[in-house]
A and B are shown apart, each in its own frame.
Chain A
């Protein structure tokens, strides 16, 4: 059932019904037993009474007739019937309304009999002195009627009360669930960007886990959105400088009459467009890395193919830089996300190319563990005080290149993290240059 109120209502009503029913059954059986006992005792006492009357008054058998019952006609008149039989089998006396046939053949004590098609319970006392059997009995049907009247008396008000009880339960449930409804209304009436936490201080204990879970979710959404806003603001900010450069150079090209100046401006425009294109590409890559979601499924990636892809790319090594790839690395197979591995390696490669001097050499090799990939360039390296900063977004240190965006190492670092690996940067010890390692682990 989708409605909590309906569900609780059904449960409560069923439970109440079951409790009532078992109470009725219990009362029924208990009353029945008690009634049997009381009525049996009454039979016994009536029989003894008649017996003692017969004995003490020394009444003749013929005189021993029970007085007429004086019951008001309540439907229970002539409850008891009495017969007195002589030992030799003559009916000496019987009370009014008693069937003429012998009530029981039992010599004494209780017995159940069918008389004239009706079940009877009879108590017999044998009076040896008078030579008679005194039998007092009542109809079992009468007893059953008594019990069922009693139960009816109990059930009638219960049935009258049931709808009232149902209504009360329904209303109480509505009241009880009000905090939940208030919370739902509060959340429903919110604007799309309103992720303030729900006030859980006043929420009932049962609702608290829900509000806290919701607030956790809201906090996560808010963090993600703030991050997104920051990146967007930063990106917009970072795009303005190359745009300003483009516009300035274009205006120079239009304004100057010197062909050499115009040529220079146009060349810088091309360079700037390349750099801006790369910036946009890297921003998209960052967005992807930041997107979160489930970690990418690792696959077995042939590292050689990734290198082919990187060096085939337009942003591969320029003619003035030579790239050497360790043959052992070419054959290496790595379990990782191919997309992120390519992203990390490409950005490390571009970084090395941009900082390489003319004629510089870039070397890709496997790390000492055989499970990582390392790159070395012959550029200026990174000043030690900037080492911790270079993986920050948009950080461009003192040794920045004209084409740099301040994002390459940040992307390589983020991509390595997403793969569960880490990026380690260090300056080369043998000469100037940077060494970057991605240790992928087992």
Chain B
């Protein structure tokens, strides 16, 4: 799951990146409105964590522009203000959720997962396809009710495919989900992860669509 964090306080931004990373998310950080706009224009995110008070403007402005231009990325607002009017204004500007500072990291992770899930059109917290069941909250997986050991990257690739069963994901789309900007993308990494996954959940579970990418079979 790829998340954009817009927060200008360096220590908090670092905490968000590392903390959400621990929850299995790939996090990109920007610290002002301008960079947030640029990031939204160039990459697709599963969710966005947005601070309200930014050095070059208000997070609400970015949110408003996003929604007007048809960007549907789920947004969680971080607010230092307790005022209910501010929260109402945030939600009415197109935010999906808010959290007041200081917050609990686990709660933030859960809320981000929830808005990302809703953003992808699902209501069930767990992903399932065939006999495979993924729990994004605990980063755990089972195959026919027996625990399945997956690496962080493998989990990310599999959940990307399972979010939309039957839809083809290109290699670069999968890479986007795996790597933040700072990370170097290893060539063949996606192929390697797919290879390992097939070894764990069965050869036919992931289908290669030549020239397009990969998709998960809905029925095993």
A and B assemble together: yes
Contact B102 A252 (CB under 8 A): no
Cβ–Cβ < 8 Å partners of B32 in chain A: 398
8 closest A-B pairs by CB: A248-B15, A245-B12, A244-B102, A244-B101, A245-B11, A251-B105, A240-B80, A240-B101
Give residues of chain B (1-35) contacting chain A, Cβ–Cβ below 8 Å.
8-12, 14-16, 18-19, 22, 32
The answer to whether the Cβ of A400 comes within 8 Å of any Cβ in the partner chain is yes
Cβ–Cβ < 8 Å partners of A252 in chain B: 15, 18-19, 22, 105
Contact B80 A237 (CB under 8 A): yes
Choice from A255, A261, A272, A400 contacting B11 with Cβ under 8 Å: A272
Contact A237 B15 (CB under 8 A): no
Contact B18 A261 (CB under 8 A): yes
CB distance from A49 to the nearest CB of B (A): 112
Cβ–Cβ < 8 Å partners of B101 in chain A: 240-241, 243-244
Knowing A245-B15, A402-B10, the reply to whether A256 touches B22 (Cβ < 8 A) is: yes
The answer to whether the Cβ of A271 comes within 8 Å of any Cβ in the partner chain is yes
Cβ–Cβ < 8 Å partners of B184 in chain A: none
Contact B55 A397 (CB under 8 A): yes
Q: Mark A213-250, 1 if CB is under 8 A from B, else 0.
A: 00000000000000000000000011011111111110
> How far apart are the CA atoms of A271 and B78 in the complex, in Å?
22
Known A248-B19, A268-B14; 17 more pairs at CB < 8 Å:
A237-B53, A237-B80, A240-B100, A240-B101, A241-B9, A242-B11, A243-B101, A244-B9, A244-B78, A247-B103, A247-B104, A248-B105, A261-B18, A261-B22, A265-B18, A396-B8, A402-B10
Give residues of chain B (62-114) contacting chain A, Cβ–Cβ below 8 Å.
78, 80-81, 100-106
Contact A396 B105 (CB under 8 A): no
Which of B53, B101, B104 has the most chain A CB atoms inside 10 A of its CB?
B101
Give residues of chain B (146-172) contacting chain A, Cβ–Cβ below 8 Å.
none
> How far apart are the CA atoms of A252 and B22 in the complex, in Å?
8
Give residues of chain B (122-177) contacting chain A, Cβ–Cβ below 8 Å.
none
Which of B78, B81, B100, B105 has the most chain A CB atoms inside 10 A of its CB?
B105
Which of B19, B32, B81, B106 has the most chain A CB atoms inside 10 A of its CB?
B19
Q: Mark A252-268, 1 if CB is under 8 A from B, else 0.
A: 10011000010011001
Cβ–Cβ < 8 Å partners of B104 in chain A: 247, 251
Interface residue tally on A, bucketed by range: 20 to 34
> How far apart are the CA atoms of A271 and B9 in the complex, in Å?
12
**Using a CB–CB distance below 8 Å, which chain B residues touch chain A?**
8-12, 14-16, 18-19, 22, 32, 53, 55-56, 78, 80-81, 100-106
> How far apart are the CA atoms of A350 and B127 in the complex, in Å?
52
> How far apart are the CA atoms of A271 and B12 in the complex, in Å?
12
Knowing A245-B12, A249-B11, A251-B19, the reply to whether A240 touches B105 (Cβ < 8 A) is: no
> How far apart are the CA atoms of A398 and B103 in the complex, in Å?
26
Can you offer 15 A-B residue contacts whose CB atoms are under 8 A? A237-B80, A238-B80, A240-B101, A240-B102, A241-B12, A245-B12, A245-B15, A247-B104, A248-B12, A252-B105, A255-B22, A265-B18, A397-B55, A398-B56, A400-B55
Cβ–Cβ < 8 Å partners of A398 in chain B: 32, 55-56
Cβ–Cβ < 8 Å partners of A261 in chain B: 18, 22
CB distance from B25 to the nearest CB of A (A): 13
Give residues of chain A (397-426) contacting chain B, Cβ–Cβ below 8 Å.
397-398, 400, 402
> How far apart are the CA atoms of A275 and B11 in the complex, in Å?
10
Cβ–Cβ < 8 Å partners of A249 in chain B: 11, 14-15
Q: Is the interface of B mostly helix, strand, loop or mixed?
A: mixed
Q: Is the interface of A mostly helix, strand, loop or mixed?
A: helix
Contact A247 B11 (CB under 8 A): no
> How far apart are the CA atoms of A252 and B12 in the complex, in Å?
11
Contact A237 B8 (CB under 8 A): no
> How far apart are the CA atoms of A264 and B22 in the complex, in Å?
14
Contact A251 B11 (CB under 8 A): no
Cβ–Cβ < 8 Å partners of A271 in chain B: 11
> How far apart are the CA atoms of A317 and B104 in the complex, in Å?
35
Contact B19 A396 (CB under 8 A): no
Contact A255 B105 (CB under 8 A): yes
Cβ–Cβ < 8 Å partners of A248 in chain B: 12, 15-16, 19, 102-103, 105
> How far apart are the CA atoms of A242 and B55 in the complex, in Å?
16
Minimal Cβ-Cβ distance residue in B for A397: B55
> How far apart are the CA atoms of A242 and B14 in the complex, in Å?
12
> How far apart are the CA atoms of A268 and B14 in the complex, in Å?
9
Cβ–Cβ < 8 Å partners of A265 in chain B: 15, 18
> How far apart are the CA atoms of A244 and B80 in the complex, in Å?
9
> How far apart are the CA atoms of A237 and B106 in the complex, in Å?
22
Cβ–Cβ < 8 Å partners of B106 in chain A: 251
CB distance from B77 to the nearest CB of A (A): 13
> How far apart are the CA atoms of A251 and B21 in the complex, in Å?
13
Cβ–Cβ < 8 Å partners of B81 in chain A: 237
> How far apart are the CA atoms of A238 and B102 in the complex, in Å?
11
Contact B15 A243 (CB under 8 A): no
> How far apart are the CA atoms of A422 and B80 in the complex, in Å?
33
Cβ–Cβ < 8 Å partners of A240 in chain B: 80, 100-102
CB distance from B23 to the nearest CB of A (A): 9
> How far apart are the CA atoms of A294 and B81 in the complex, in Å?
35
Cβ–Cβ < 8 Å partners of A255 in chain B: 19, 22, 105
Choice from B11, B80, B103 contacting A268 with Cβ under 8 Å: B11
